[in-house]
Amino acid sequence: MSVGTAAPPAQAGFERTWQGHPGLRGWLMEVNNQPLGKRFMVTAIIFFLLGGVLALLMRLQLAVSDNDLLGPQVFNQLFTMHGSTMMYLFAVPFLEGLALYLLPLQLGSRDVAFPRLTAFSYWTYLFGGVLFYASFLVGVVPDAGWFAYTPLSGPRYAGLGVDFWLLGLSLVEVAGITAGVEILVTILKLRAPGMTLGRMPLFVWTMLVTGGMIIFAFTVLLTATILLELDRAAGMAFFDPERGGNSLLWQHLFWFFGHPEVYIAFLPATGIVSAVVAAFARRPVVAHVLVVVAIVMTGFLSFGLWVHHMFATGLPELAMHFFGAASLMIAVASGIQVFAWIATLWGARPDYRTPFLYLLGFFLIFVVGGMTGVMVAVVPFDLQVHDTYFVVAHFHYVLIGGVVFPVFAGLAFWLPKVTGRLLDERAGAASFWLSFVGFNLTFFPMHIMGFLGMPRRVYTYPATLGLDAHNLVATAGAFMIALGTAVFIGAFLHSLRRGRPAGEDPWQADTLEWSVSSPPPIFAFRRPPVARGRHPLWERGRPAAAVEAEHQRVTAALDAAPTTWRATLSTDPLTGAPQGVQWLPGPAMSPFLVALGLLIAAIGVVANLYILDLAGVVLAVGALARWLQPDEALLERLRQDPAPRAAGLPVFTTGAASTGWWGALCLVVILGTMFGALLYAYFYLSLFSDAWPQGGLERPGWGLAGPATGALLLAGAGLWGSRRAFHGGRRAAFVGLLGGSAAGAAAAAVLVLVELVRLPFGPGVNAYASAHFTLSGLAILALAMGTAVAAATTHRLERRLERRDAFDTLQLQVTTMLHGFALVAALATLVVLHTSPVLL
Amino acid sequence: MSGPGDPRAGRGRIWVGLWGPAVAWLVHFLAIYALAEFGCLSPLAERVVLGASLVAWLVLAVTVACLALSGGVTWLAWRVDQRLSAAPTAPATAGPEADPGPDAGRFAARAGWTSGLLFTLIIAVEAVPVFFYLRDCGVKALP
């Protein structure tokens, strides 16, 4: 392995290119993964502390029976905000922040694939979290639980607090999805030359699978939260049984997200565990291939478990047992990882330092949580303990044992890399023992409390239940956990000033991040590294393969280069062979402005100030247009730069070799998942309806949908033809066909809109009408997006056709993907909406 | 895996081998869920053919098809692994159409057949409940 740390001739231009702007403006314009990853983690830890304070208040309330310290309303608010904070604002954002910080360093890249998207992700996350907590300021705190079950969270029973919850959460979901895309494309495309799939570290594998899971799971939740907000703000009826809606639909959509969410937090934690186990055992994790397979299995199977949260809702028995079987099977995947870690540590002589102590805590706690998970996967058992403190104990053993302990292990392990200073070991050990003992004091008695009949989500309990002692112990344990956390944070703050210098690799670990200084330079690697094996730092002496000479030549050409723009190597997703010199954007205000626009629009919805909505949308769309606008002068500069030529690589690539293509593919998958979730809702609602359309509503005719379908088909033909015209260099044909395709999509959108306006019923009449209007609305939005993209591409490529290069080809490919998706999705929507009422 | 002259086909087989079993499981699970959720509330659940409801027959048919798919992909990945293990070590070439090379390919093939075995097992296990509900879907769902 060669890690490229030999100092090349100093090139001030290169370093200057990577510097951000100073001051507040520079802070707002920051796009680099390292500062943004740190911001993600710090913000998430602040939310973790807030969520922890809420938990302590709840435990104070429950410390003794018949307590009236808080009262039921405040207790409802506290458990809602505690659960929501820990699940949405801490666990996933923290791990995404860790990944955004760490992945480029582990992969041998200088930054992530879409730096401006990282900035956008951070700002939307921060704004979403602030909107969540703003509910405290205006005294309308959400109180419907972190799951917001309908009809409790519907307009009849819940006040403005749920709107804060839904809109804040929507922003956080957008942040999560964009970070997921970032993680996925970075791993696929920005690995060091020679880093094949088989050489990727296990932490990277966990993040690859997690990135994919986020895209599907969060998108379904985003769709569900939009539907619920439509019920609340626009009077729709998706979840209102009195108007043909279905409350269980919310549970299906929510848990389709909610269960994978657990694994979205747990899988990266297993990546942390694998990294720490290998470093402390001083040997590779046993059965690497099998562990990778277990990670992939976990990712997939986690989407087959959602109904096990709904065993008590009256679903068909057959369906429940399918989910019960799947829930048992996921233990196989978890078991593979646990046994691989045990086998790795078998016979090793690890140092019992802070990361390793937290790791041992993880093993003990998570295995107990996993065992109780197998218990609740069995339907009859689940029915006995459902909604009791047994379940509270189970999921805290899984989430704190399986996520928080590994997170603290990871913090103790990687903070020396981030800060350059080691934690104080005595303080680290003290924090671990306080947390470990406190955790078990808090949550182990809850298993027994659940068996003895203590229900969850109640603000107090009678003394006759005989659970005072259990609850008092649990409360004392909670304060021990808080003390342990405080000691850890104190140790961290102390280490910033007085910690011992960490050096490059304080743990003698194996992955690439330990090859650079601590803290790393902002560009991570002056010269991109070459990966010779799976454990680069342990294989320095291994003989080089012949192909490495070529990789070394490429990376040498990029040593402290280019000097006027930020760049990193892009590589083949399978082999890690270099494919191009990837341009990376510098500081930009547009991500902040787009996120700010979304926040303003969300506030407008909560406050019923639609002028704010308009202002927010205008700001967001305007900033987005500025963001996406190609900078022709910059493109020309990239074409002329000598560095890519010296490396023998193109600066622009097309198709799967390009990060942009992968980004567009992710967008299509996200939009497709939204359509899929809506179509599921449509058919689910029809399943429980006596007639479809409901309420004797007239079936929609083909009067306008027919011409709209024709327009879509013609637009598709135009799009297909425009690609041939582009590659043939036929300018007039290209402009006519792609421009015509855009016009066809616009015409179809207008026809669908006119059909909606002319319908004799409104969207709030019943659930059928709500579903019809929402699906049509989404189709119109997709067509508007496709039209805008196709029109902009027609306009730009018209001038470029004679001089077209790979960048222009890529633009057309991305346009084809997005515009083509819009056409197909709209066509499918029209067909479903106009044929299903006849068929169902 | 195909030879160096046909890198696209080789890469395609590797990707299919790596993700195919997982996709087979996904298809199977969504299909049997849809049959149980939607089929159990439809006339399919009432019609009994050869001692079992149409829902049960459809679940079994989907299971057999997905077992065949997953098993086939597992066998394919096994073959690729065997072939690559026997081949002399050759470096991966650079470029967008790069031959994956034995190192990348062998890992993917090995992961493919390992996951294939596990996913095939899981598909089979998840279908077991249908044998307890051959004639009906159990207690009716609440409308």
Query: Which ipTM was obtained for this model?
Result: 0.87
Q: pLDDT class for B89, splitting at 50, 70, 90?
A: low
3-state secondary structure of A501: strand
The pLDDT score that the predictor gives to residue B106 is 85
Give the per-residue pLDDT at B98: 52
CA-based nearest residue in chain A for residue B41: A687
For residue A540, the model assigns a pLDDT of 79
From A677, A691, A830, A667, select the one nearest A768 (Cα to Cα): A691
Q: Taking residues A66-82, what's their average pLDDT?
A: 95
Distance CA A59, CA A62 (A): 5
A545 C-beta neighbours (distance < 10 Å), count:
18
- Please state, as a whole number, how many other Cβ atoms lie within 10 Å of the Cβ of residue A161: 23
**In the structure, what pLDDT confidence band is assigned to residue A305 with cuts at 50, 70 and 90?**
confident
| Half-sphere exposure (Cβ direction) of A250: Cα atoms closer than 13 Å | 25
A584 forms bridges with which residues in the sheet?
A: A566
Q: Which residue range(s) make up the domain with B112? A: 8-132
Provide Rg for chain B, Cα atoms.
20
Mark residue A583 as left, alpha or beta (left: phi above 0; alpha: psi -120 to 50; beta: remaining): beta
- Does the pLDDT value for residue A541 go beyond 80? no
With beta carbons under 8 A apart, name residues in chain B contacting A572.
96, 98
Read off the tokens for B25: 């499981």
Which of these, A419, A405, A413, A589, lies nearest to A485 by C-alpha position?
A405
- Condensed to tens digits (0 to 9), the pLDDT of residues A589-633 reads 999 999 999 999 999 999 989 899 999 999 999 999 999 999 999
pLDDT at B101 over 70: no
Look-up: residue for tokens 């990546």?
A271
C-alpha to C-alpha distance for A35 and A41, rounded to whole angstroms = 10
Task: Report if residue B128 sits inside a domain.
Answer: yes
A160-189 and A115-137 helices cross at what angle (nearest 10)? Answer: 160
B residues 58-77 closer than 8 Å to A (CB): none
Q: Which two tokens stand for residue A70?
A: 């808080």
B 18-57 residues with CB < 8 A to A: 18, 22, 25-26, 29, 32-33, 36-38, 40-41, 55
Confidence at A519, pLDDT banded by 50, 70, 90: very high
Q: Which residues of B touch A292 (CB under 8 A)?
A: 111
The backbone region for A571, taken as left when phi is positive above 0, alpha when psi lies in -120 to 50, beta otherwise, is: beta
Residue-averaged pLDDT of chain A: 94
CB atoms within 10 A of CB A23: 9
* Dist CA A95 CA A74 (whole Å): 30
DSSP annotation of A693 reads S
Q: How far apart are CA A312 and CA A320, in angstroms?
A: 10
Nearest to B22 among A290, A300, A316 (CB): A300
Residue with tokens 């960048």: A807
Chain B interface, best mutation among A204, A575, A694, by max B CB count within 10 A: A575
Residue A54 one-letter amino acid:
L
Total residue length of chain A? 840
Convert the pLDDT of each residue in A737-748 to its tens digit: 999 999 999 999
Identify all chain A residues contacting B20, using CB atoms and an 8 Å cutoff. Answer: none
Q: Which residues of A touch B11 (CB under 8 A)?
A: 574
Dump the DSSP string for A646-676. HHT--SS--GGGSHHHHHHHHHHHHHHHHHH
Element (H, E) at A495: helix A468-498
Residue numbers in B near A304 (CB within 8 A): 25, 29, 33, 126
Distances in Å between the Cα of B127 and the Cα atoms of A639, B57, B60, B124 are 57, 11, 7, 5
Predicted confidence at residue B88, as pLDDT, reads: 62
**Looking at per-residue confidence, does A318 or A571 come out higher?**
A571
Pick from A576, A577, A580, A568: nearest CA to A523: A568
Phi, psi dihedral angles at A114 (to 5 degrees): -130, 80
B67 found inside a domain: yes
Per the structure, the count of domains in chain B is 1
Number of other residues whose CB lies within 10 A of the CB of residue A729: 11
Which of B26, B37, B96 lies at the smallest CB-CB distance from A579? B96
- How many angstroms away from the CA of A319 is the closest CA of chain B? 5
- Residue of chain B with shortest Cα separation from A550: B94
Strand pairing category for A578-584 and B48-49: unpaired
* Proportion of chain A above pLDDT 90, given as a percent: 89
How high is the pLDDT of residue A3?
46
Cis peptide leading into residue A519 (ω within 30°): yes
Question: Residue B34 and residue A322: Cα distance in Å, rounded?
Answer: 11
Q: pLDDT grade, residue B64 (50/70/90)?
A: very high
Q: Are A675 and A819 in contact (CB under 8 A)?
A: no
B48 pLDDT higher than 90:
no
Which pLDDT score is estimated for A174?
A: 97
Is residue A36 over pLDDT 60? yes
Residue B142 has pLDDT above 50, yes or no: no
**Residue A331, CB-side half-sphere exposure with 13 Å CA sphere:** 17
Q: Please tell me the predicted confidence (pLDDT) of residue B100.
A: 55
Backbone angles phi, psi at A268, to 5 degrees: -60, -35
Listed residue (A377, A38, A95) closest to A209, CA to CA: A95
Peptide bond before residue B7 is cis, with ω within 30 degrees of 0: no
In this prediction, residue A332 carries a pLDDT of: 92
Buried b (16+ CB within 10 A) or exposed e, A805-825: ebbbbbbbbbbbbbbbbbbbb
**Which of B74, B107, B119 should one mutate to test binding to chain A, selecting the residue with the greatest count of A CBs within 10 A?**
B107
Looking at residue A158, the DSSP 8-state letter turns out to be -
Distance from CA of A120 to the nearest CA of B (A): 30
Given B111, B140, B141, which is nearest A293 (Cβ)?
A: B111
Report the C-alpha gap between A35 and B130 in whole angstroms. Answer: 53
* Mean pLDDT, residues A712-720 taken together: 97
The residue assigned the tokens 């012949």 is A546
Burial class of A9 by CB neighbour count within 10 A (0 to 12, 13 to 18, 19+): exposed
Query: What local confidence, expressed as pLDDT, does residue A340 receive?
Result: 97
E strand or H helix at A627 = helix A610-628
Question: Which residues neighbour A480 within 8 Å (Cβ) at sequence distance 6 or greater?
Answer: A434, A435, A437, A438, A441, A442
Question: Rounded to whole angstroms, how far apart are CA atoms A65 and A389?
Answer: 15
Predicted local distance difference test score (pLDDT) of residue B96: 45
A204 token code pair: 């990277």
pLDDT at A127: 98
Nearest partner of A303 among A334, A369, A367, A258, judged by Cα: A258
Residue A7 pLDDT > 50: no
B3: pLDDT strictly greater than 50: no
* Single-letter residue type at A681: A
Distance between B67 CA and the closest CA of chain A, angstroms: 16
Sign of CA dihedral B33, B39, B40, B41: positive
The Cα angle at residue A126 between residues A179 and A203, in degrees rounded to 5 = 35
Answer yes or no: is B139 within a domain: no
At which residue do the structure tokens 């068909």 appear? Answer: A316
Given a cut of 90, whether residue A321 has pLDDT beyond it is no
Distance CA A643, CA A136 (A): 54
B88 touching A (Cβ < 8 Å): no
Amino acid at A128: G
Instruction: Inform me whether the pLDDT recorded for B93 exceeds 60.
Output: no
For residue A94, what is the DSSP state? Answer: H
Q: Is the peptide bond before A562 cis (omega within 30 degrees of 0)?
A: yes
Angle at CA A148, nearest 5°, toward A147 and A153?
Answer: 170
Angle between helices B7-37 and B101-127 (to 10 degrees): 20
| Token representation of residue A250 | 């919310």
Question: Mean pLDDT across the stretch A442-463?
Answer: 95
Instruction: Please give the Cα distance from A151 to A372 (Å, whole number).
Output: 30
pLDDT higher at B135 or A646: A646
For residue A4, what pLDDT is reported? 46
**Closest listed residue to residue A64, CA positions, set A447, A393, A467:** A467
Binary contact (A289, B111; C-beta < 8 A): yes
Over 60: is that where the pLDDT of B30 sits? yes
- B76 against A669, higher pLDDT: A669
pLDDT category of residue B2 using cuts at 50, 70 and 90: very low
Candidates B70, B97, B126, partner chain A, best to mutate (most A CBs within 10 A): B126
Higher-scoring residue by pLDDT: B87, A61: A61
Distance from CA of B68 to the nearest CA of A (A): 19
In A510-591 the beta strands, taken as DSSP E runs, fall at: 566-571, 578-584
Please report whether residue B54 resides in a domain: yes
Q: Quick one: tokens of A75?
A: 């207790």
DSSP label at B46?
A: T
Residue B130 with chain A: CB contacts under 8 Å? 318
Give the 3-state secondary structure of residue A219: helix
Strands B48-49 and A566-571: unpaired
pLDDT digits (tens, 9 = 90+) for A381-419: 999 999 999 999 999 999 999 999 999 999 999 999 999
Q: How many CB pairs under 8 A join A and B?
A: 149
Contacts of A423 (CB under 8 A, 6+ apart): A354, A412, A415, A416, A491, A492, A495, A499
> A544-600: per-residue pLDDT in tens?
677 788 899 999 999 998 999 999 999 999 889 999 999 999 999 999 999 999 999
